[in-house]
Structure 1
Amino acid sequence: MRPDSRLSVALHALLHLGEQGEVITSEALAAMLAANPVVLRRTLARLKEAGIVRAEKGHGGGWSLARGLGSLTLADVYQALDTGGPFRLGPRDESPGCLIEQAVNRAVGTALVEAEARLLSHLQSVSLADVAADVGRQEKKQRTARAPRRKA
């Protein structure tokens, strides 16, 4: 089963919007992400409904952040996308007559609820500014690694 990458795509797009600091067309943004502009627009529309991005129409229009990266958490984006949960697991039958299947549903259901709660807790603790800072640290490491070493 192919994983749902909407959260990764949305976060990637938001970080590019934050980096650019200006209105960007969905075509230009899609090129930065190597993504389909139509799929990206669908994702951005969800983020717009949640007040995370703005869309400006007409000549010179495009997408921009409605909130700063520091005020956005990964959980804000995750919840805006309404993916239906992080796992694609579920009961075979919501209301089984079999006591064994009922016990299985309770056990698996409890595990899934706990796992999603832990995931949300972590996502709430990380802002997009934190992720952007990580990008900056990685860029600095790469520049340092590529810099020619001087002989003493």
Structure 2
Amino acid sequence: MDARLSRMLHLLIHMGQMDRPLTSEAAATMLGTNPVVVRRTMAGLRDAGYVRSVKGHGGGWSLNSGLETITMLDVYRALGENRIFALGPADPQPACLVEQAVNGSLADALHEAEGVLLRRMADVTLADIAADFTRRLPAADPA
């Protein structure tokens, strides 16, 4: 899994707290990247129906629904992620029986771990993450 998921979760939560569209340029500044990269990445989220784009003055990216309706898994899938872990066998078709056994055990463990992670991602909404952010804010000084 590359950093696109965490970067887009970050961006979507900011968008959920904004009262106006977020331009690709402003998003790129937030993420320390290029606006073209933002537009390309956001296209998958738009195609999945989670965001919309408006062209012209005052335009930019907006959420199509509230943060409570979008899960981490939704974003993961919309980004076209297909591989959770970068681990894998050194040789997928080994002649060595020991390496075959290692590959089998590794594949079983990775498959099980992927299932656990995907189920957890399906349970966490962007609103849950935003609430965690709010809890982390320092308490306002009453004085």
Q: TM-score range by the shorter chain?
A: 0.7 to 0.9
Between Structure 1 and Structure 2, how many residues are aligned?
143
Counterpart of 1:54 in structure 2 is 52
The answer on whether the counterparts of 1:24 and 1:64 sit within 8 Å (CA) in structure 2 is yes
Counterpart of 2:2 in structure 1 is 4
Counterpart of 1:123 in structure 2 is 121
Q: Which amino acid aligns with 2:23?
A: T
For residues 13-49 of structure 1, the C-alpha deviation after alignment (integer angstroms, 9 at most, x for no partner) is: 1011111032121111222333332222222112112
Distance 1:43 1:113 in 2: 27
Q: Which amino acid aligns with 1:104?
A: V
For residues 67-96 of structure 1, the C-alpha deviation after alignment (integer angstroms, 9 at most, x for no partner) is: 211101111111222333221111233333
**How do 1:10-29 and structure 2 match up within 5 A?**
10-29=8-27
Q: Which amino acid aligns with 1:135?
A: F
Counterpart of 1:38 in structure 2 is 36
Counterpart of 1:143 in structure 2 is 139
Q: CA RMSD in A?
A: 1.9
Deviates more, 1:17-26 or 1:80-89: 80-89
Identical amino acids, percent of aligned pairs:
52
For residues 81-123 of structure 1, the C-alpha deviation after alignment (integer angstroms, 9 at most, x for no partner) is: 2333221111233333332222111111111111111111111
Distance 2:35 2:25 in 1: 5
Structure number with greater Rg is 1
SS in 1 for 2:17: helix
Q: 1:148 to 1:20 in 2, by over 3 A?
A: closer
Distance 2:96 2:53 in 1: 51
Q: Which has the higher contact order (CA 8 A, sep 6+)?
A: 2
Counterpart of 2:108 in structure 1 is 110
For residues 50-76 of structure 1, the C-alpha deviation after alignment (integer angstroms, 9 at most, x for no partner) is: 211112223332111122111011111
Instruction: List gaps (5 residues or longer) in structure 2.
Output: none
Q: Offset at 1:148?
A: 6.9
Deviating above 6 A after TM superposition, structure 1's stretches of 4 or more consecutive aligned residues are none
